[in-house]
Amino acid sequence: MSKKSDGKVLAQNKKASHDYFIEDTYECGLVLTGTEIKSLRLGRANIGDAFATIRNGEAFVHNMHISPFEQGNRFNPSDPTRARKLLLKKVEINKLLGQSKQEGYTLVPLKVYVRNGYAKLLLGLGKGKKQYDKRDTEAKRDAQRDIQRALREKQKVAR
């Protein structure tokens, strides 16, 4: 029996690392209906404005946009940004609930991908960055880029 390999990333929230300090990540399944998985595999998803909540012991992702499948049938969902249930273990949900209740913490969807034929969402526990934190992160990244550039130039000269 051959094991299915990991698929490509279908949607990614690039702004999350800019706006939040991601302290912990969780992989969770998605409950999809009808032809949403077909549309998702075509890359027609957007999680830029998405956020996750926990209600009644269940986790949900809100504002995750999955475009309707063009060749779909009557089971196509009418609302592309409906709340979708996340599949997590009870222990993980309780842990996330306790951590997200702390001041400044939120649940941020980071990326959507397919693993072994199932749609997965990488959920991050993030703490919001202030404006000066964003500038500091950008300055560190620029400094690293300058160091790498200088090292490459030095290696070119040494040859």
pLDDT at residue 1 is higher than 50: no
Q: How far apart are CA 118 and CA 40, in angstroms?
A: 11
- Model pTM score: 0.78
Query: 47: which 2 tokens?
Result: 């999680």
Question: Within 13 Å, how many C-alpha atoms sit on residue 98's CB side?
Answer: 5
pLDDT score of 6: 59
Q: What is the pLDDT of residues 88-111, one digit of tens each?
A: 999 999 999 998 888 888 999 999
Structurally, at CATH architecture level, domain 9-128 sits in Beta Barrel (2.40)
Pairing of strands 45-46, 84-87: unpaired
Domain residue ranges in the chain: 9-128, 130-158
pLDDT score of 84: 92
Q: Are 93 and 55 in contact (CB under 8 A)?
A: no
